[in-house]
Amino acid sequence: MANAIYEQGDWWYVVDVQEEDDNRKNWHELYYKGEEVTPGWFRNISPYAIATRAQFEQAVDELKLKFWLTDGKNGAIINT
């Protein structure tokens, strides 16, 4: 995926940068096969920082487990 900060197979961490007059905010998004699947805690990382590789890997591991527990139903992990 274009503009991905980190990638792991079909998983991508993308930062949506929003520039304002006096600051710059980063909105954190995770994608799986092109669909946004960002967990709430990951979305709440400070908008003035970039998530670490470890945070990205933790989120991906959590989402993989959820995906596995839902028997591979991709829609079950969307908007977690």
- Could you give the number of structural domains in the chain? 1
17, exposed or middle or buried, with CB in 10 Å at 0-12, 13-18, 19+? exposed
pLDDT digits (tens, 9 = 90+) for 22-54: 999 999 999 999 999 999 999 999 999 999 999
Residue 34 in domain: yes
Residue 29 in domain: yes
Do 12 and 23 touch, CB atoms closer than 8 A?
Answer: no
- Is the pTM higher than 0.85? The answer reads no
Residue 48 in domain: yes
Residue 17 in domain: no
51, exposed or middle or buried, with CB in 10 Å at 0-12, 13-18, 19+? buried
* Residue range of the domain that includes 33: 4-12+22-77
